[in-house]
């Protein structure tokens, strides 16, 4: 009878709760455990009040109740935990990691040291390109006007290319004649395309200036006895005395010069030339075959990624390099033997190497960028993430830590 009495309130309580709340198995188990805890507490208080006396019935009843709770937990079906958060966390993790590994920063700051056979650039503003440069010989093509200054025994001449004779001009400074040709600083207007190419002859390079709207004026200082030759083949010498200005005005979009400098190895060009575009590819055009082949003008080079600390990448000979310049400048452009040596500093976009299917980006990934620029934040973030992930796995597998 005692057993029946003792079980009755439990079953009544459970039945009432079930009817009232319609609780599921796990919740009932928790409720049962709570009820046991409550009764144990009440029994403890009573024992304390009765100087440690507990009735055999009560002890027996609590023991059986505890046994029931234990059996209930054993037969209880494990909770069906939802699966979608796991999939979401996995997808998010994959997305974040993939983004960091494969997405690239839109622009990066680089220093590129080059040895090139040719280079093209666009100036974003009118800028002095060169120091006064001594020339041994100069060929000019694409001229509209030639202003030949007065010379000994002759007055100056303003010649026009309308008769097609003076669209080209050659100036020579033979060593025996002690004449000098000095290219004055060029200041091409904003947006001028400049193409420099080393020729196969020693100390000789070609310079092309192209502007859509403005005709380029190039000034030379001529002194002493010089040889001049026009395209019709006429040769004549002139003595320009201590120095006179000779001006050449371009006829259209492009003026081409072939210059032979007195000595190479010197910095021919200004120390800083701002550029808005830089080209290190040359187009070979075969007219008959109607084909265009681009080839790299690079002899060698190294790209230093300023955003990535000390990271650098060497460029092989003839490796195709393409880039878009956001903002940058060229420093120390020098003619040295068979190539130009220069250094480019600036912010670039779409930096790629290779051709066709082999073309790939050299722009840093976000992970590379973050590991260099925000190493501590990345470390803390990664550590927290891994810790959280490990904790989730442990809890998932119900491992007690």
Partner 1 sequence: MSLTNVVVLVVLNVWATLFSFQFASAQDSVCDPLLEERVAGPWGYRLRGQYCEGLYAEKVSSVALSIVSFMSAIANYDLSNGKPLIVEWTATGVGELRLRAVSLERKTYYRMDSRVPAEAERFLWPLEVLAGVGIERRSLGVLGSIDLVIAGEERRVLLPLRVRQEGIVQDKVEAAQRNFKMLARPGVELNEVYISVVAISDTGEEENYLIDEEPLKYGFYPAERTFPVLMPPLSEPGLYHISIAAELARGGDTVVEAYFYRPDG
CB of 379 to partner 1, least distance (A): 39
Measure the CA–CA gap between 252 and 212, rounded to whole angstroms. Answer: 8
CA gyration radius for the chain? 43
Structure tokens at 384: 């927290």
CB of 236 to partner 1, least distance (A): 21
- What is the total residue count of the chain? 401
CB of 262 to partner 1, least distance (A): 7
- Give the residue with the Cβ less far from partner 1, 20 or 152: 152
- Give the residue with the Cβ less far from partner 1, 223 or 312: 223
- Give the residue with the Cβ less far from partner 1, 127 or 296: 127
Cβ atoms within 10 A of the Cβ of 290, count?
7
Structure tokens at 1: 């009878």
- Give the residue with the Cβ less far from partner 1, 25 or 243: 243
- Give the residue with the Cβ less far from partner 1, 242 or 284: 242
Contact 282/116 with Cβ under 8 angstroms?
no
Q: Name every residue whose Cβ is closer than 8 Å to that of residue 369 and which is 6 or more positions away in sequence.
A: 105, 108, 307, 308
Contact 241/151 with Cβ under 8 angstroms?
yes
Measure the CA–CA gap between 315 and 317, rounded to whole angstroms. Answer: 7
Contact 194/211 with Cβ under 8 angstroms?
no
Q: Closest Cα to residue 335, out of 232, 282, 261, 280?
A: 261
List residues binding partner 1 (CB under 8 A): 125-128, 131-134, 150, 155-156, 158, 180, 182, 184-185, 221-223, 241-245, 262, 270-272
CB of 309 to partner 1, least distance (A): 28
CB of 248 to partner 1, least distance (A): 15
Beta bridge partners of 170: 139, 229
The 3-class secondary structure across 352-370, one letter per residue, is EECCHHHCEECCCEHHHHH
Q: Name every residue whose Cβ is closer than 8 Å to that of residue 358 and which is 6 or more positions away in sequence.
A: none
- Give the residue with the Cβ less far from partner 1, 28 or 331: 331
CB of 245 to partner 1, least distance (A): 5
CA distances from 94 to 48, 87, 98, 271 (A): 60, 10, 6, 48
- Give the residue with the Cβ less far from partner 1, 182 or 199: 182
CB of 136 to partner 1, least distance (A): 11
- Give the residue with the Cβ less far from partner 1, 140 or 353: 140
Beta bridge partners of 158: 147
Which segments within 33-142 are labelled E, that is strand?
Answer: 108-116, 118-122, 133-141
- Give the residue with the Cβ less far from partner 1, 245 or 389: 245
Per-residue DSSP letter, 50: T
Beta bridge partners of 112: 303, 344
CB of 322 to partner 1, least distance (A): 28
CB of 185 to partner 1, least distance (A): 6
């Amino acid at each position: 009878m005692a057993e029946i009495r003792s079980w009755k309130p439990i079953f009544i309580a459970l039945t009432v709760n079930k009817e009232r709340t319609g609780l599921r198995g796990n919740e009932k188990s928790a409720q049962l455990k709570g009820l046991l805890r409550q009764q144990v507490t009440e029994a403890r208080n009573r024992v304390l009040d009765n100087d440690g006396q507990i009735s055999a019935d009560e002890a027996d009843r609590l023991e059986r109740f505890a046994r029931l709770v234990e059996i209930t937990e054993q037969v209880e079906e494990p909770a069906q935990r939802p699966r979608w958060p796991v999939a979401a966390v996995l997808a998010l993790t994959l997305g974040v990691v993939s983004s960091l590994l494969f997405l690239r920063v839109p622009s990066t700051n680089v220093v590129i040291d080059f040895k090139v056979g040719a280079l093209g650039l666009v100036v974003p503003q009118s800028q002095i390109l060169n120091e006064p440069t001594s020339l041994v010989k100069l060929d000019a093509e694409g001229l509209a006007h030639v202003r030949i200054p007065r010379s000994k025994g002759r007055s100056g001449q303003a010649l026009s290319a309308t008769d097609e004779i003076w669209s080209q001009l050659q100036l020579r400074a033979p060593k025996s004649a002690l004449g000098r040709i000095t290219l004055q600083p060029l200041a091409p207007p904003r947006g001028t395309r400049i193409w420099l190419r080393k020729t196969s002859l020693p100390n000789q390079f070609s310079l092309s200036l192209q502007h859509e709207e403005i005709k380029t004026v190039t000034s030379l200082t001529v002194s002493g006895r010089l040889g001049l030759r026009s395209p019709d083949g006429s040769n004549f010498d002139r003595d320009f005395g201590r120095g006179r200005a000779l001006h050449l005005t371009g006829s259209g979009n492009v003026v081409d010069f072939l210059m032979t400098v007195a000595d190479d190895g010197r910095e021919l060009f200004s120390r800083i030339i701002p550029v808005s575009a830089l080209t290190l590819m040359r187009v070979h055009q075969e007219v008959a075959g109607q084909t265009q082949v681009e080839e790299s003008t690079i002899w060698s080079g190294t790209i230093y990624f300023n955003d990535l600390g000390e990271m650098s990448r060497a460029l092989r000979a003839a490796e195709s390099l393409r880039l878009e310049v956001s903002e940058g400048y060229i420093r120390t452009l020098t003619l040295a033997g068979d190539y130009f040596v220069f250094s480019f500093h600036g912010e670039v976009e779409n930096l790629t190497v290779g051709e066709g299917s082999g073309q790939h980006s050299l722009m840093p990934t976000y992970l590379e960028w973050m590991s260099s620029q925000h190493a501590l934040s990345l470390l803390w973030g990664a550590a927290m993430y891994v810790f959280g992930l490990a904790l989730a796995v442990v809890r998932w597998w119900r491992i007690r830590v």
